[in-house]
């Protein structure tokens, strides 16, 4: 469906041409003075220099041509602006087309294309902490946005399941339970089906081993050796690794499920490992990788670099692989299995250099063709209310599960205190409001920026918050339920200025979603639905919707609110949350 701005611009260009001027001056923008007009064109000011006449003269000539068209009301004002207001008939027709078209007429630009979204970044055997919140919910929102535009989306959690943390756990477990068969290189029998630790045990093993590594060099060397032997296929260590996976993954899934974050693939660094030997051999053979201080590296610096970009390390001097090796091997797997048109990575912005190196290496070595786009969304950090790094009272890193529980408890208290729903609905309603508060509070910020987590502000039912958006949707649903059968009511011309304001906001859905996709900015969707919710509530307060005595007018009010509700629900689905039935 053609965007309104494109329609108006095309008409403006024709009007410039019909008036005897170059059509390129007919560029239209959204007005920065909505009190005066809805759209504007400043082309007459620029054209005046070429045609050596007063800008207002050109503006009046163009406006005269446009005013022959019933679609808009056009006015030329000093010194040469062309102001436009859309007619009610034009808005009625445009919104009716939105109402009846699939997905509001948004063009499916991704049809037939595949995108892999790499987000989550959970480490096996380690609890999710607050640093895992942003990549999870930004990545989920971007994946859903791409899906809305018709892409085949593959979300991959890309588990950290093959690095040093595994060697640390193996070494620590060996010290605590040295008689386990996994540590006997001569053991050839079947290993126990039951793991030698619980989830609680596992969550204590890693921190203990990590702290020990910093003060015990011999232990650190053993952990590195265990990691290397695991990666080389030592049978007992592979069995321990499988136990770790079996114990950790269900808990990771549970927490991600509570955030309504769902991955199509639960692959990890270990899944890329089989691709590494052949990949490294080919890079050496073709001269992409060179020796440097005993390590194999891929030079990726370019002449145009304004700052130093170090070589991408492929194999360390001790023969072990690192994150870059695994990321490149993962790209090999993804290109072979899925042939994506794009790979999108969502991680902390402090990894920007790493991905610059990996992307360049992937291009240089022919792993990823130029036809496949590569993008890294580097997000900022979530700080405490005081702007300082978010910590627990004892100075530790706050667990993500604790953050979710704190938000849920706070919202639940409000739901119970205000008697928002019946007792039987408290849990379900609380979960939806808390999730909206948490996700919207994050996603309403530009991804690259840091932000301060403010539980009270994020959970407020007023202001630019998730609960406010939900409240608006629930209010509309209540009105529609009281009216009755509304789904097929056609859009009518705006009955008053508040209806027209609401209709104008609705028309901006497609350009907003397109901009959010192009700039990887879910915050643009948040800003849009906040504006839309505000327009809905203003219209509701100023218009007797259900009390309107004229049945035709009432049906028009209801149709408009129904369209607004459907758009709001679609947008919050993209953002990753949903509205309860009551609030």
Query: Residues 516-560: pLDDT tens digits?
Result: 999 999 999 999 999 999 999 999 999 999 999 999 999 999 999
Q: Are 74 and 82 in contact (CB under 8 A)?
A: yes
The tokens of 108 are what?
Answer: 């499916």
Handedness of CA 400, 405, 408, 410 (dihedral sign): negative
Q: How large is the C-alpha radius of gyration of the chain?
A: 29
Q: Indicate left, alpha or beta for 307 from its phi (over 0: left) and psi (-120 to 50: alpha).
A: beta
pLDDT at 70: 61
Cβ neighbours of residue 62 under 8 Å, at least 6 residues apart? 12, 15, 16, 19, 21, 26, 41, 43, 44, 76, 82
**CATH top-level class of 4-86:** alpha beta
Reading across the β-sheet that carries 29-30, which strands appear in turn?
29-30, 39-41, 81-86, 72-77
pLDDT in tens, 104-127: 999 999 999 999 999 998 999 989
Count how many Cα atoms sit within 13 Å of the Cα of residue 253 in the half-sphere of its side chain. 11
Handedness of CA 407, 409, 410, 416 (dihedral sign): positive
pLDDT in tens, 200-233: 999 999 999 999 999 999 999 999 999 989 988 9
Burial readout 383-418 (b: 16 or more C-beta within 10 A, e: otherwise): beeeeeebeeeeeeebbbeebbeebbebbbebbeee
Q: Which CATH superfamily is domain 400-575 in?
A: Isoleucyl-tRNA Synthetase; Domain 1 (1.10.730.10)
The DSSP code for 192 is P
pLDDT at 265: 98
The DSSP code for 452 is E
- State the Cα–Cα distance between residues 474 and 579, nearest whole angstrom: 7
- State the Cα–Cα distance between residues 230 and 211, nearest whole angstrom: 21
- State the Cα–Cα distance between residues 438 and 259, nearest whole angstrom: 9
pLDDT at 69: 67
* Other Cβ atoms closer than 10 A to 84: 22
pLDDT at 389: 80
What do you get for the CA distance between the two ends of the chain, in Å?
35
pLDDT at 318: 79
Report the chain's mean pLDDT, rounded to a whole number: 95
Query: Which listed CATH number (2.70.98.50, 3.40.50.620, 3.40.50.1860, 3.40.1110.10) goes with 114-159+266-383?
Result: 3.40.50.620
- State the Cα–Cα distance between residues 462 and 415, nearest whole angstrom: 15
The tokens of 30 are what?
Answer: 């959204």
Q: Provide the pairing of β-strand 342-348 with 373-379.
A: parallel
* 3-state DSSP percent of the chain in helix, strand and coil, to 5: 55, 10, 35
pLDDT at 340: 99
Q: Give domain limits for the chain.
A: 4-86, 114-159+266-383, 164-254, 400-575
Cβ neighbours of residue 21 under 8 Å, at least 6 residues apart? 47, 51, 58, 61, 62
Q: Indicate left, alpha or beta for 159 from its phi (over 0: left) and psi (-120 to 50: alpha).
A: beta
Q: Are 321 and 274 in contact (CB under 8 A)?
A: no
DSSP sequence for 390-432: PB-TTS-BPBHHHHHHHHHHHHHHHHHHTT-S-GGGHHHHHHH
With residue 39 as reference, give the H or E element that holds it.
strand 39-41
- State the Cα–Cα distance between residues 332 and 259, nearest whole angstrom: 30
- State the Cα–Cα distance between residues 190 and 187, nearest whole angstrom: 9
The tokens of 397 are what?
Answer: 């890193």
Strand extents, DSSP E, 62-189: 72-77, 81-86, 114-118, 152-156
Q: Indicate left, alpha or beta for 121 from its phi (over 0: left) and psi (-120 to 50: alpha).
A: left
Q: Are 384 and 453 in contact (CB under 8 A)?
A: yes
pLDDT at 397: 83
CA angle 25, 28, 29 (to 5 degrees): 135
**Segments of the chain scoring below 50 in pLDDT:** none
Q: Provide the pairing of β-strand 39-41 with 29-30.
A: antiparallel
């Amino acid at each position: 469906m053609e965007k309104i701005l494109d329609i108006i611009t095309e008409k403006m260009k024709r009007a410039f041409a019909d008036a005897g001027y170059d059509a390129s001056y007919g560029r239209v923008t959204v007005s920065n003075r909505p009190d005066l007009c809805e759209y504007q064109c400043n082309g007459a000011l620029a054209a005046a220099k070429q045609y050596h006449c007063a800008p207002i003269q050109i503006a009046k000539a163009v406006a005269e041509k446009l005013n022959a068209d019933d679609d808009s009301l056009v006015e030329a004002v000093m010194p040469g602006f062309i102001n436009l207001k859309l007619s009610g008939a034009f808005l009625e027709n445009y919104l009716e087309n939105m109402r009846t078209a699939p997905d509001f007429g948004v063009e499916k630009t991704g049809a037939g294309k595949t995108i892999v979204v790499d987000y989550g970044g959970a480490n096996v055997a380690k609890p999710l902490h607050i640093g895992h919140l942003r990549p999870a919910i930004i990545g989920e929102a971007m994946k859903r946005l791409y899906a809305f535009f018709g892409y085949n989306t593959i979300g991959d959690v890309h588990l950290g399941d093959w690095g040093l943390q595994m060697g640390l756990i193996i070494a620590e477990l060996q010290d605590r339970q040295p008689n386990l068969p996994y540590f006997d290189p001569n053991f050839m029998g079947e290993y126990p089906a039951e793991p030698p630790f619980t989830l609680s045990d596992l969550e204590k093993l890693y921190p203990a081993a990590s702290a020990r590594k910093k003060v015990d060099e011999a232990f650190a060397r053993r952990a590195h050796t265990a990691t290397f032997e695991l990666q080389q296929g030592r049978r007992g260590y592979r069995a321990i690794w499988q136990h770790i996976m079996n114990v950790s993954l269900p808990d990771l899934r549970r927490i991600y499920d509570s955030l309504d974050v769902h991955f199509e693939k639960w692959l990890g660094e270990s899944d890329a490992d089989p691709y590494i030997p052949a990949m490294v051999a080919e890079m050496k053979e073709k001269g992409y990788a060179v020796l440097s201080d005993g390590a194999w590296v891929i030079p990726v610096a370019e002449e145009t670099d304004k700052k130093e970009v170090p070589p991408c390390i492929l194999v360390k001097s001790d023969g072990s692989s690192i994150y870059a090796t695994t990321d490149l091997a993962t790209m090999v797997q993804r290109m072979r299995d899925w042939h994506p048109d794009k790979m999108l990575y969502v991680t902390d912005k402090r990894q920007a250099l790493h991905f610059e190196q990996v992307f360049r290496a992937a291009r240089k070595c022919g792993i990823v063709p130029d036809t496949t786009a590569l993008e890294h969304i580097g997000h900022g950090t979530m700080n405490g209310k005081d702007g300082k790094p978010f910590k627990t009272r004892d100075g530790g890193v706050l667990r993500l599960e604790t953050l979710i529980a704190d938000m849920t408890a706070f919202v639940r208290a409000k739901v119970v205190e205000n008697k928002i729903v019946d007792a039987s609905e408290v849990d379900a309603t609380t979960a939806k409001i808390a999730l909206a508060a948490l996700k919207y509070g994050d996603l309403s910020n530009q991804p690259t920026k840091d932000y301060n987590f403010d539980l009270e502000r994020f959970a407020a039912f007023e202001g630019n918050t998730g609960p406010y958006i939900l409240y608006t949707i629930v209010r509309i649903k209540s009105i529609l339920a009281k009216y009755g059968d509304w789904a097929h009511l056609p859009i009518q011309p705006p009955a008053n200025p508040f209806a027209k304001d609401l209709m104008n906001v609705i028309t901006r859905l497609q350009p907003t979603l397109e901009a959010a996709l192009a700039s990887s900015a879910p915050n643009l969707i948040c800003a849009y639905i906040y504006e839309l919710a505000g327009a809905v509530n203003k219209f509701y307060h100023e218009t007797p919707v259900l009390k309107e005595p004229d049945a035709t007018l009432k049906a028009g009010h209801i149709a408009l609110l129904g369209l607004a509700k459907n758009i709001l629900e679609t947008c919050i689905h993209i953002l990753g949350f949903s509205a309860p039935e009551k609030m």
